[in-house]
Amino acid sequence: MTDDLLPPWLNDDSDDSDDNDLPDWLQNADDDSPQSPKKSGVTGELSWMQDDSPSNDNPSKKGRASTGLTGELSWNQAETPDFLQDMSPDDSATMGYDDNQADDDDDALPDWLSASDDADDDDNSGLPAWLDDDALEESERLVQQSFTMTDEMSVVDFLDEEDDEESEELPSWLTDESPTTSQSNVFAGAVDTSTWGNFEGSDEPTNEESLTDAFTDDSWISDTETPDLEEDFSDLFTQSSPTSDFNRSDLPTTGMLFGDDDFSNEVDEGSFDLLGTPNDIDSLLGGDDFDLLGELNDDGDDAQAFDLFGELAEPQTPIANELANDDDFMSNFGDDDLFDEDIDIDALLGEEDPFRQFDTNTVSEEAEDDLSWLEDISNVPFQDTRPEPLFKPETRAKLSQNLPQSQPEPELDIENYLASLDDMSLSSITGDVDFESADLDFETLFDDNREEMGMSGLSPDAPSWLTDLTAVTAGENSAAAILSGQKDRPAEDLPDRLKALRERGFDVQSHPKTDAEVLSALMPVSGVMLSDTADSAIATVALTAGQVQRAELLRTIVGNALEANEADEKTRRPRRLPIERLFITAILLVAVLAPFFLDNLRIGAPPPNQFVVGSRQDAFYRLMDTIPAGVHILIAAEYGAMSAGELDIATESVVRHVLANGGIPVIISSNAVGLVRVDNLMDTIAAQNRLVANVDYVVVRYLVTDVVGLRDFSENLSSYLAFDVDGNRTRLAIDDLNDFARVVIITESADNLRLWGEQVLPLMTQPFLAITSYSAAPLSEPYLSIRAGAYLSGYGDSYTYQTMVNRLLTGGEVIIPTLPPTVEIIIPTTEVPVVIPIDADSTAEITEISPIVTESVVDTTPDAITATPDSAIVTTEAPTATLTAMPSATPTATFTPTPSPTPIVARFAIITAATPINIRPDPSTTNPPAGVLRPEERALIINQVTGVDGQQWYNITFVNNAGETVIGWVREDLIQIEETVLTPTPTPSMTPSSKQMRMIMRVGIPQKGQESTPEITPEATPSAEATLEAEITPQVTVTAVVVPTLPAVTSIVVDIPMPDTDRLIAPMDVTDRQARWDSMALGILVAVIVIGVGNLFNLVRVIFRKRRR
């Protein structure tokens, strides 16, 4: 705000204890006094009545203060003050203060007034000097003198006249007791300064203490220019004009007093320093330092007998004198139009009737002089902040008389008011009340002609509170000014929803309703009232067409009972077929359906059959593929039925992969539907593979509540894992998250993934894996890249993972990932520092490894194993590497009753061509061949698609002569398909399983120069004995690939996938998987085209629309 413009003693920031900021005549004020300047800013203005000990050397300040107060209060209250009623000449001597009243309530009096009654006569310290007994006596004496100013003596002369002698008296116009002075006009064109005071005398001061001296002594004004007072009340009305230049224009005009445009302009320009704060209406009306209204409205202070208006009524100030003698001014107050100008004085003063003190007859009688400079008073742009009264006072009184008196006083709300209307009989009053002349002016409710009210800059539809604020707001930094400065957006920039609402508004305007409908909507009274009381108050209301339209719009927006009728009309309206929507749907549907019927509709290549080495997907597969047998894998299926179409394939692949590796999946979910789905899925897999619930897999209980439940789960694992989804005990003895070899999160939501990462991940050291849907990927990937590093996203990754898992399940074909050209491969020449992933089951340390080794491993085919628990893995390898592998696995032996084997159908492709054929890297002949197969050679079929040429292409894999595994595509006309039913030999599930043995073998692969001393201490005692020894000499190139995204493994040791598994898990059904992928690709393409064309269409439409306008 503009505190800087305030006088220091009015500034909020000024130190209260710093009396130096105060004018001298205020510094002695009693802080405890309710009129203390430290409690009320108005006290400054009123201090001439309140100050206990005003400075004797500045009596003129009091007069000056009075001047400022007059202007200020007149401006604030904007009505005829009491001085028009309290014109008693007798009161002027006491400044409107009643001595009797003061006697009755001395406590409420200013100290100096109360003291004047009780204190010793000699003790006049509390009185202003000009009220000192001596001075009063002297003034009484002097007042008797006939003092008349000369006609030539203007008020300026009066004000300018120098007298170096310090006067303790008031200006003489303050001491004037003559009632006739109220008739005088000081500032009229030819100012008769003699009317300033009904006193006569010479210009020469006859007595130093004479009040008549004060009249001719302008030192009370010039004193205001002293440094300590220059920010005092002299600044209230003039900021820069020196008092010596005081003239009529320096005084506040009536426009200033009542807020006309001139005044507003001055306020805006800061040239008019009302109270020293030109733009600070808060400090003027509601500031801490200025509580004028509080002062005026304080009922308890009534007895202070500070009759402000009575004081002002006396022609002791030029302004009051002017106002009191201006009949135009008074007539304006008496004009009813002025009431219609909505002077909201009651909002300012809190009075019911702001004009209760206004007596126009008295004014008209007393105000006889014509002041032309007040003619513009009728243009005062006041804004009524009150709603227009519905009835005139007499009508209201009549209505009140008809109300049941026995009823308790209802609360003043609209409901009770309307209820009271229902209870009373309007017919009893309609005969007496002239409703036609009642203030049933709905126009004011819908009046949008705010410009005439001085509300320039506001929209006609601006709310009333905004216009009200604007009316009383000064400056441009207020909220009202900011809001009023806002420009409406063009209709084109509106959101579609608002556009629709706007158009609907126009539609409503084009179909205006009848008055009765609108009235019934606005005022839900009974139909009887509306129909029977044709001459009721409501019936007399006449609405214009614009009002009806607005009311209809309002009713349409908020909805009410009439909506039902419109709803009926709408139901009868024929429903418009959404042509655009159907057209787009048809196009999309055709695009999605076509690939299922047409093999040639293929957009792009299918997902790869294997992940790129070093990628996050590849890391995921490897971490899953290196699961030790017999360990538990925690799988969180955090998705529901909606995402099942995308994530079920991943869940099934993970579960089968874990089962194939001998792991035990432990499945949990905080999604009840997802848990049910996974339970059903596991039932299917278990039935297919002869698995036993809670033995080979566990679907544990529902994980309730997100954050708290997850935290509880991570802290109290055993209690959560104690029961399965059906409430049966699981017998899981896991009480630590690290007992899980892996934690896999399959989720449709990034939030779920974040919760798991926040609650579970910090408590575990095992690899944290994730599979997300497409929709969750953008928000999940940043998180996973930091915390996990190995994850799959969307259906495409799941597709590839399923292919790889299926390949494993259908025979475990060896896959040596092809190296992408973009991946930097580090092939060590001599020594490679390899870090073996440390899992829960083995601790191995390899100190030296050669990139190329020749090894011999023991073939431990499941059906050939007759292993004993302490069966040692016989290694016949010559390389002597220093290897110490100490598997610490202590799996419990689990014997499963001999299951009936599930037959597996394997398809092989036999080359029927007469010459060697090329094996393509993709189902086309475009790219160079990936390998060659000779006639009669066989390859395992792992997938089948329809190529772009319309022929079936089979994805096959085989090992070439170089021992490399080749994966490629072959066309259907070059092969013959042979199906072989593989019936695995039923073997009991035992521990250590062959998978674990395989792991042991991997660890125990003796490297060149190493010495293998594996230690296996299984607790189980299966009746099996490993007696087979096979010596193979694979040429394995061990490469260490830098995988920057792997979180737990700094480098990867490429293992040789073992082709054998002891637990045969059936592969997944991949029927129409390729067609589904093609359907997705084509659907995406069509969706992109539709979106693009739609946007282009809208753009063109907008352009044409703007051109039309």
Q: Which stretch binds another protein (CB under 8 A): 72-80, 419-427, 724-732, 941-949?
A: 724-732
Q: CB of 457: closest distance to another protein in angstroms? A: 11
Distance, first Cα to last Cα, the chain: 45
C-alpha span between 811 and 957 (Å, rounded): 11
C-alpha span between 444 and 463 (Å, rounded): 13
CB contact set of 384 (below 8 Å; sequence gap of 6+): 341, 342, 343, 344
Among 724, 739, 839, 841, binds another protein (CB under 8 A): 724
Q: Which lies closer to another protein via its Cβ, residue 211 or residue 755?
A: 755
381 scored as a contact of another protein (CB under 8 A): no
# of chain residues touching another protein (CB under 8 A)? 69
Would strands 1036-1037 and 931-933 be described as parallel, antiparallel, or unpaired? unpaired
Q: Which lies closer to another protein via its Cβ, residue 585 or residue 898?
A: 585
Among 476, 568, 936, 1019, binds another protein (CB under 8 A): 476
Strand partners, 665: 633
- Residues 607, 617 contacting (CB under 8 angstroms): no
Within 567-606, the residues that bind another protein by CB under 8 A are 575, 578, 581-582, 585, 592-593, 596-597
- Residues 913, 974 contacting (CB under 8 angstroms): yes
- Residues 817, 610 contacting (CB under 8 angstroms): yes
One-letter identity of residue 163: D
Of 251, 491, 210, 541, which is closest to residue 374 (Cα–Cα)?
251
Q: Which lies closer to another protein via its Cβ, residue 557 or residue 673?
A: 673
Q: CB of 1021: closest distance to another protein in angstroms? A: 34
Token pair belonging to 1048: 């737990």
Q: Which stretch binds another protein (CB under 8 A): 44-52, 608-616, 716-724, 848-856?
A: 716-724
775 scored as a contact of another protein (CB under 8 A): yes
- Residues 1040, 826 contacting (CB under 8 angstroms): yes
One-letter identity of residue 770: A
Q: CB of 956: closest distance to another protein in angstroms? A: 22
Cα distances (angstroms) measured from residue 425 to each of 403, 406, 420, 536, 590: 9, 16, 10, 10, 71
Among 355, 442, 446, 723, binds another protein (CB under 8 A): 723
C-alpha span between 975 and 934 (Å, rounded): 11
Among 598, 687, 707, 1096, binds another protein (CB under 8 A): 707
Within 675-704, the residues that bind another protein by CB under 8 A are 675-676, 700-702, 704
Of 307, 349, 302, which is closest to residue 84 (Cα–Cα)?
307
1 scored as a contact of another protein (CB under 8 A): no
872 scored as a contact of another protein (CB under 8 A): no
944 scored as a contact of another protein (CB under 8 A): no
Q: CB of 580: closest distance to another protein in angstroms? A: 12
Q: Which lies closer to another protein via its Cβ, residue 559 or residue 782?
A: 782
835 scored as a contact of another protein (CB under 8 A): no
C-alpha span between 733 and 724 (Å, rounded): 13
Q: CB of 687: closest distance to another protein in angstroms? A: 12
Q: Which lies closer to another protein via its Cβ, residue 779 or residue 904?
A: 779
Q: What are phi and psi of 531, to 5 degrees?
A: -90, -40
* Site map 1007..1046 versus another protein, x via CB under 8 A: -------------------------------------x--
C-alpha span between 617 and 624 (Å, rounded): 11
For residue 1088, how many other CB atoms are within 10 A of its CB? 10
- Residues 969, 922 contacting (CB under 8 angstroms): yes
Q: Which lies closer to another protein via its Cβ, residue 40 or residue 730?
A: 730
Q: CB of 707: closest distance to another protein in angstroms? A: 5
1079 scored as a contact of another protein (CB under 8 A): yes
Among 534, 708, 959, 1100, binds another protein (CB under 8 A): 708
Among 161, 535, 758, 937, binds another protein (CB under 8 A): 758
Instruction: Give the single-character DSSP code of 978.
Output: E
- The pairs formed by 534-541 with CB atoms below 8 angstroms and a separation of 24 or more are 535/430, 535/435, 536/426, 536/430, 536/435, 537/390, 537/391, 537/426, 537/435, 537/438, 537/440, 540/435, 540/436, 540/438, 540/440, 541/440, 541/442, 541/515
Q: Which lies closer to another protein via its Cβ, residue 418 or residue 642?
A: 642
1076 scored as a contact of another protein (CB under 8 A): yes
952 scored as a contact of another protein (CB under 8 A): no
727 scored as a contact of another protein (CB under 8 A): yes
Q: CB of 431: closest distance to another protein in angstroms? A: 48
Among 424, 819, 1054, 1084, binds another protein (CB under 8 A): 1084
Q: Which stretch binds another protein (CB under 8 A): 236-244, 555-563, 778-786, 1028-1036?
A: 778-786
864 scored as a contact of another protein (CB under 8 A): no
Would strands 1024-1026 and 844-846 be described as parallel, antiparallel, or unpaired? unpaired
Largest CA distance in the chain: 148
Q: CB of 654: closest distance to another protein in angstroms? A: 18
Q: CB of 343: closest distance to another protein in angstroms? A: 28
C-alpha span between 944 and 1072 (Å, rounded): 9
* Site map 632..671 versus another protein, x via CB under 8 A: ---------xxxxxx-------------------------
Q: Which lies closer to another protein via its Cβ, residue 240 or residue 1071?
A: 1071
Q: Which stretch binds another protein (CB under 8 A): 104-112, 800-808, 967-975, 1068-1076?
A: 1068-1076
Q: Which lies closer to another protein via its Cβ, residue 528 or residue 577?
A: 577
Q: Which lies closer to another protein via its Cβ, residue 568 or residue 580?
A: 580
1067 scored as a contact of another protein (CB under 8 A): no
Of 633, 964, 621, 1002, which is closest to residue 834 (Cα–Cα)?
1002
898 scored as a contact of another protein (CB under 8 A): no
Q: Which lies closer to another protein via its Cβ, residue 41 or residue 674?
A: 674
Q: CB of 760: closest distance to another protein in angstroms? A: 9
Identify the helix (H) or strand (E) that includes residue 866: strand 865-867
C-alpha span between 232 and 24 (Å, rounded): 10
* 3-class DSSP state of 770: strand
For residue 641, how many other CB atoms are within 10 A of its CB? 12
463 scored as a contact of another protein (CB under 8 A): no
Among 761, 771, 975, 1068, binds another protein (CB under 8 A): 761
Question: Which runs of consecutive H residues, i.e. helices, occur in 239-359?
Answer: 254-258, 261-269, 281, 292-297, 308-313, 318-324, 327-334, 336-340, 345-349
For residue 334, how many other CB atoms are within 10 A of its CB? 20
C-alpha span between 676 and 699 (Å, rounded): 9
Q: Which lies closer to another protein via its Cβ, residue 776 or residue 792?
A: 776
733 scored as a contact of another protein (CB under 8 A): no
Strand partners, 200: 146, 147
Among 529, 612, 819, 1080, binds another protein (CB under 8 A): 1080
Q: CB of 169: closest distance to another protein in angstroms? A: 47
Binding site for another protein (CB under 8 A): 476-477, 481-482, 485, 575, 578, 581-582, 585, 592-593, 596-597, 641-646, 672-673, 675-676, 700-702, 704-705, 707-708, 711, 719, 722-727, 748, 754, 757-759, 761-762, 773-779, 782-783, 786-787, 794-795, 1044, 1071-1072, 1075-1076, 1079-1080, 1083-1084, 1087
